[in-house]
Each structure stands twice: as C-alpha cells, then as structure tokens.
Amino acid sequence: MRTVTAYLLAATVLGATATLASAQTAPPKRYTAEQFYQTRSYAIAGAESDAFTHDGKALLVSSDESGTFNAYLLPLAGGPLTPLTRSTTNATYAVSAFPKDARVLVSSDTGGDELTHLHVRAPDGTLTDITPGAKVKAQFVGWRRDGSTFFVATNARDAAAFDVYAYDAATLKPTLVFKNEGGFLPEAVSPDGRSLGLVKTLSSANSDLYVADLTGAGAPKLVTPHQGDVAFSVSDFTPDSAKLIYLSNEGGEWARAYTYDLASGARAELVKGDWDVSFAYFSPSGRYRVSALNADASTALTIVDTRTGKPVTMAGVPAGDLGSVRFAPDERTVAFTVASDTSPRDVFVADLQTGRARRLTTALNPAIREADLVEATVVRVPGEGGVPVPGILYKPKGASAAAKAPAIVLVHGGPGGQSRRGYSATIQHLVNHGYAVLAANNRGSSGYGKTFYHMDDKRHGEGDLRDIVASGEWLRKQDWVSPTQVAVMGGSYGGYITAAALTFHPDAFAAGVNIFGVTNWQRTLKSIPAWWGANRVALFDEMGDPATDTERHHRISPLFHAARITKPLLVIQGANDPRVLKVESDELVAAVRKNNVPVEYVVFPDEGHGFQARKNRITAQEAYLRFLDKHVRKGS
C-alpha cells in the first residue's frame, strides 16, 4: 500500500486552520480509551485503479467498523459501507477488486501469525483460499492490464523464497511464471504482464534491482550495476510497460526516482527533492504522475497533469495529508484519503475535470471534538556528538510553568522506522489526559538521509539509546514539563529501547512501557521466520550475525542485565507474535519481579506483532494510562 500527502489550495488550508484555532478557546474535554478507539479506520485497497469496482459504483476498502478489520464496499455516491467479509477473529483486509466482475481479493492471517493467505470473495459471499498451506505466506503482486490475469508471490515451494504465479482470473488456476532461486523479493509486475521487478538485498545499505521476463526468456537481468553501497527499490512500471520506475540514493543523501528503459537500458531522473522520494507512479493512461517526498516526518505529495506539467488542485479538501491515491479506470475520478494530527484518515473522491472533492467517510468518533485534540510540532533535540535528533512533540492543552505536565518519550519500531506526523489514537488519548508526548527519531531512523540512517549499524543500544535518554533530558528542561514525571514507551524495536533504557540508564526515566519489545537479541535473531528470506541479510548486516556477534548481542540485551532495572515496568505482548516471541516478555517480567520492582503484564492470546482487534487496543490503551497514572503521575 502506498501512503501519500496532498497538494492543496492555500485558501483551503488557511480556512481550516482558522476554524480550528477559533474552536480551541474552550477547555478540552477528557475522553476514554474506548471513545478514542470507537474512531473508525479506513484504508483504500489496491494500487492505481484496483480499488474501483468493475461497475464504477464503489470503492473497495478495509475498515475496523465492526471491531475487527474486514473488507467493505464504499459507495461513491455516499452512504453506509457494505460488508464483504464478517470475520470476528482474524483481521481481513481488502486487496483488489476484479476489473471485469464483482469478485474481490482479500487477505488474512491467523491470530496475527503474519502467514497471510489470499482469498477470492465471490458475489454470494463465498471465500476461496487460493494460497492454501499451513506454513504458506502469500502476497498480491498485481494485475495484467487486460484483467485476464493476476499475479501472486508465495513461499509454498520454499519457505524462504517467494515464487510468482500467474492466476487465470476466470478459472483461478495458477501457473508458475517465476521460480525464485536467487534470493529475490518480487515487487511489481508490468501492466502487460511480461516483466517482473525484483530487489536483491546485499546489505542494509546496499541492494540491486533485476527485471525478469515472465515469458521465460532467460535469467533475471541486473539493471543497477554500481560501485559501493547504494540502496535501490522498485516503485512501479510505466503504464506502457516500457520502463521500470525505481528509487535510488546513488546521487547523495536522498533517494530520487528514476526510470530504466527495458529495451535500451537508458536511465532518466524522474523526481528529486531535498528529502527522500517515497514513491512515484502514474495513472493507468499515464496522464497523471503521483509522487511524494518524506518531508520532515510528513509526506508531501504532488499529482501532476503530464499534459500541462502543472499540479492538480482540488477544492473541498480539508487541511491534512493525502494518501492512497487511486484512479478510476476512465481517470475522470480519483479517490484518496486525508488525515492530520487531529483527524484520522477519511476517504474522499474528486472529479478530475472540475477539481471538486466529496467526503465519503467521517472516521473520528462524533463524541470527540476535534478542537480538544492537539496538533504536533517538529522539534530537534541535541544528541550525542552534536547530532540533532528529530522529534514530533505533542504538548497537552493547559500545560504551563504553573501547571507542569508529565511526559513520555515514545520510541518507534524498526530498527530503521520513523515517528511521523498524523493521527494516533494512542498518542491523542495520552495527551488528552495530560501527558506530553515526544515521538523521537533517534539516529538510525529513516527519513533523514542515509548517513543518519546508518549511524546505529551494529551499534544498537548505544548512540540510539542515548538519543532517547537525551530526549528525556530535553523534556525535563522545558518549563512546562514536570522533571520527575518523564517515562519512556515503545513497541517492537521501541520496546527494546524502552527496556534497555530502564536497564542501562536506570535513573533516566520514572517508568517504562514495553510493547512486544526485544529483550534477548541472541534468541530473536535466531528465530526470525524463514519467510523473511533475503530481508534477514539486511537485518543481520545492521544488527549483527547471531553466529558471530553473540557477545555484543548479550551485552545489549536487557534480559541478561535485568537486575539493574529499578523503575516500574509495564509489558504488553501478543501470544502469537512471530517476530518477538512471547517467551522474551515472559522472561523479562519474571526477572524484573525478582528485583521487587512493580511489573504489570498484559498478554493477548489472539494477537501477534501489533493489535488488530478494537477490544484489545482499548484494553492495551487503558493499561497504558492506568500504569502511567499510578507510577508516573503518581496521583498528582
């Protein structure tokens, strides 16, 4: 799925800002976790035009409207969603509409195990698993433009390799068209169905792109010969199937978009900027080009009309980031989402001839007044060695030198993730209850150039951890923050940093919230699922090979040094997590309890690495606030 941000009319932005500012004079109302999570989530399926149904009357979307993610049809004329799946246990996501009939593709795993299967949903509601197998993981690659064939990557033959099959759209019969014996990651198929774009990971900083001829003409062709460390990734093919669109940071700190002519081998720069280009692709006819920059934790998107060379503007769009741009096959209509710090993602459609947009959903729970929520600001924290550490700061309303707020340093996942601007129920709920939140981007985070990104390679638990400690110190220096009430919190890699902060800097934070965080790097790296395949190469290059870096992994793992933890700890874990095994959290909790330190532990038996069910997200959120109020705010 692509995520993007909009080019908007200045009048629209200024008008929305003024309206919000005038409403902020009233004191904020306090809302419960349940109220925040009664907010709906919407995601448009597909890519380019896959989201529009064959009759042009609806969009295929995913939503947690029922409490569990399911696939729905969203009428373009407006009105309620029509459910296509009704799972109450496993999250089910919309993947693509069939271009010639009313069938759709959906995907789901089992209890968060990440072994996703693809299913075809017939008009009568019947679901057919087209990628069966107990240990199979499958992903949709794309359609041939004529709608006769779609392509699926699956590891059914080899758990560590994703082969590509062409499925006949009429019979659903699969045919192997690419046997993956080179450690490739299939990324995109050309509209004519002849070419497959592949990534081969060489290290965390170095990769290559190949193109395979799906008609069977020879081995995949290397299209990115280069010297030194250069990261390449596939974005798409051009609509005429003649060129591969790819991203590369070969020219400097920032990734740019390029095209590679499959026939001549000629290359040309397509999009560049002062930040990383996140993606670039075209509408089905090629008339419109969509591209975006990862601009200081926001996505700055432009839709260009290639006939005029000018950006497309749309009226009736609120201030915020545009995402998931999808074109109707006739390109008269475009669908997209809009989100901001105070407004979750909503679905809009616009007439490309008139530029007028219409809103199809209202995601924010109507019981919550948007003016009670907080808009973020981007800050820079002085890090070790003079390195500026970016962060996204949420300051609670009413916080001042006379009314100091407790605070949280929030650490993103990864390694190599990024804290970004945009709506977060987790953050807004905590801020609404008086906590400042600084979502930090420690060294090693993506989005700030390749030098910054690789600063923590094989040095995890060192400078990156000290950046988080420095972020806590920065918060304590703000005259509106209570210096004795600063906690650390994070999930996945952020959960590791949380546990590491309490272990190796035991006086830096008042408490920690570890959400399925790594505690034993020796075990985690050895237990990476086989279907990670080539991605393990990059992870081992960045984190260190478990076969040779045992001593360092032992040294940086909180579990082996848990006797140092003296501050209260909350641990949240999914029992089916395939990335951070439940035993990691079990053992850390047991070890810290031996210190006579307050430890709370919440396990969800039906979740994996991330919580999909609304009831579980509410339970986790309530646990965060209850723990923080008890051990950080301390009843103040």
Catalytic annotation, residues: 492, 577, 609
Rounded distance, CA 259 to CA 226, Å? 16
Phi, psi of 210 (to 5 degrees): -130, 160
**Cα 217 from chain centroid?**
36
Sign of CA dihedral 310, 316, 320, 325: negative
Please work out, in degrees rounded to the nearest 5, the angle formed at the alpha carbon of residue 16 by the alpha carbons of 332 and 79: 50
Please work out, in degrees rounded to the nearest 5, the angle formed at the alpha carbon of residue 323 by the alpha carbons of 390 and 425: 60
Residues with Cβ within 8 Å of 102's Cβ and at least 6 positions away in sequence, in order, are 53, 54, 55, 123
Locate 43 and state its tokens.
């995601």
Rounded distance, CA 82 to CA 277, Å? 36
Rounded distance, CA 178 to CA 410, Å? 42
**Cα 405 from chain centroid?**
29
Sign of CA dihedral 294, 300, 301, 307: negative
Phi, psi of 84 (to 5 degrees): -105, -30
CB 453 within 8 A of CB 446: yes
Q: Which residue, 503, 522, 529, is CA-closest to 514?
A: 503
Rounded distance, CA 332 to CA 317, Å? 17
For 500-521, give one letter per residue: b (16+ CB within 10 A) or e. bbbbbbeebbbbbbbbbbbbbb
* Bridge partners, residue 284, by sequence: none
Rounded distance, CA 48 to CA 45, Å? 10
Cα-based distances in Å from 87 to 5, 128, 361: 31, 14, 22
- Amino acid at the residue 501: A
Q: Which residue, 113, 186, 107, 183, is CA-closest to 153?
A: 186
CB 46 within 8 A of CB 58: no
Question: Biggest alpha carbon distance in the chain?
Answer: 73
* Bridge partners, residue 152, by sequence: 140, 165
3-state helix, strand, coil in the chain (%, to 5): 20, 35, 45
Rounded distance, CA 512 to CA 552, Å? 24
Rounded distance, CA 474 to CA 478, Å? 7
